[in-house]
Amino acid sequence: MSASKNRATNSLLRSEKKSLYRFLALYVAMVIFGITLLSAFYYESQKKLALSNYRVMMAQYAYIQTKRLKVLHHFFPDRREYPRDPRFTSAIYDIEFHKIFSLNRVESIRFDEEIYLTNGYVHFIKGLDTYYLGTRYLVIEVQDDAKWEVAIWKDIALYGTIAFVLFLLFGLYLAKLFLKPMRDSIMLLDRFIKDTTHELNTPLSAILANIEMMDTDVMVEKNRKKLERINIAAKTVSTLYKDLTFLTLEQEKKNEDEHLDVKEIVLDRVEYFDILARSKQVTFSLALDDATLYMDRRKFTRIIDNLISNAIKYNKRKGAIKITLEPNRLIIEDSGIGIDEEKIPLMFDRYLRFNSSEGGFGIGLSIVKKIVDEYGISIDVTSQKEVGTKMEIRWEND
């Protein structure tokens, strides 16, 4: 068994991501609005250009038709056939916009415009100074081939996409600038912890070594209890120290992956935390099958330690912890305070703690998340307020 490595760890905090997404959504909406507006202006200007091309042609047609109307006027009513032309159709209207005669396919006319597009046809309206046959308005109609429109849409699609991509890149750069102050403050905290951690090593090692060396058999009961409490406190600090060391120093170390006997490690860590659990009268119940996992021992230990110490820390007095190990999954359930369902997605964020009554920096689960992401291990959390929390990690077999 081994877990495939997934280096795409989520380096951004969820809150950072939320801010980033909000900013990007707003930015993208603004960019789309801007591009749409520009496209609309471009479309209108190109449409005007296309119409001005039509205007040149249609003004000539109108001139020709006017001459024909003049002739018809002269010979009316002996000649009554309205002049026709294969290149265009036309209609004539009197000064009160009443139709005198029409060959046009589109009958609705906008007399307040000189040239316009309507239902795939172009209308050109010429006002006559001499009203042949009473004609005040001559309306020339030609079919629009819409080639200009296809060209405009092509331009808009091409340049719009280029502009969108460029603006998006610029937006990402802006977002980075936008997040910098937040990132700087987190880095400052990281650096502070790194410096502090370094100073903890020597005294903590001395305390733990000396506790181990003490002969408890010759101690009086009262002193043994005091020593036990010192031991619990030292182990709590030790777990925190290891987390901080991992976070600041060890995670950059090269992994030393090996086939781990998961059952053995779980038993070892349960024994280690037993004294801490007993102090809260929390009992373990274990159902462990044999299981192996190919990964770095230190990192797997950090996962187990954090899950077990959280199960103890956020448990009730006289509570229980149930640990189930199967060939490809490990479940740690506690009978603790639980958390709200909507807060579950946030619990892996660094420096986030849901219960300020308990100590800690809120880094334990962010370490767990970082490691499981790195190894492609899935982690599922189910929790119910005042009932307990169930953490399940699952890895794939080869």
Partner 1 sequence: MGKRLRGVLVTIVFLNGVSLWGESENIFERNCVPCHQELPTSLGEMFKSYLLVYSSEKFVKAGIKHYLRHPFKSLSVMSDLFIDTYGIKKPTHLTPKELDEAIDIYWEKFKVFDKLK
Residues in touch with partner 1 (CB under 8 A):
73, 76-77, 80-82, 94-96, 98, 100-101, 130-136
Distances (CA, A) of 184 to 179, 191, 349: 9, 10, 17
Nearer to partner 1, 81 or 398 (CB): 81
- Residue 90 CB, nearest distance to partner 1 (Å)? 12
Nearer to partner 1, 125 or 265 (CB): 125
| Alpha-carbon span 2 to 23, nearest angstrom | 39
Nearer to partner 1, 41 or 101 (CB): 101
- Residue 81 CB, nearest distance to partner 1 (Å)? 6
Nearer to partner 1, 51 or 128 (CB): 128
Cβ atoms 137, 111 nearer than 8 A: yes
Nearer to partner 1, 80 or 254 (CB): 80
| Alpha-carbon span 395 to 398, nearest angstrom | 10
| Alpha-carbon span 382 to 344, nearest angstrom | 8
Structure tokens at 329: 């999954």
Q: Chain centroid to CA 181: how far?
A: 20
Nearest residue to 355 via CA among 336, 328, 332: 336
Q: How many CB atoms lie within 10 A of CB 369?
A: 19
- Residue 131 CB, nearest distance to partner 1 (Å)? 4
- Residue 108 CB, nearest distance to partner 1 (Å)? 19
Nearer to partner 1, 78 or 212 (CB): 78
- Residue 93 CB, nearest distance to partner 1 (Å)? 9
Nearest residue to 292 via CA among 322, 256, 265: 265
Nearer to partner 1, 84 or 225 (CB): 84
Nearer to partner 1, 136 or 302 (CB): 136
Phi-psi region of 119 (alpha: psi -120 to 50; beta: other; left: phi over 0): left
Nearer to partner 1, 101 or 173 (CB): 101
- Residue 141 CB, nearest distance to partner 1 (Å)? 17
- Residue 91 CB, nearest distance to partner 1 (Å)? 11
- Residue 134 CB, nearest distance to partner 1 (Å)? 4
- Alpha helix locations (H) across the chain? 14-75, 147-213, 221-248, 262-279, 297-313, 364-375
Burial 247-258 (b: 16+ CB within 10 A, else e): bbeebeeeeebe
- Residue 77 CB, nearest distance to partner 1 (Å)? 6
Please name the helix (run of DSSP H) or strand (run of DSSP E) that holds residue 92, with its range, or none.
strand 89-93
Structure tokens at 143: 């079919």
Cβ atoms 340, 385 nearer than 8 A: yes
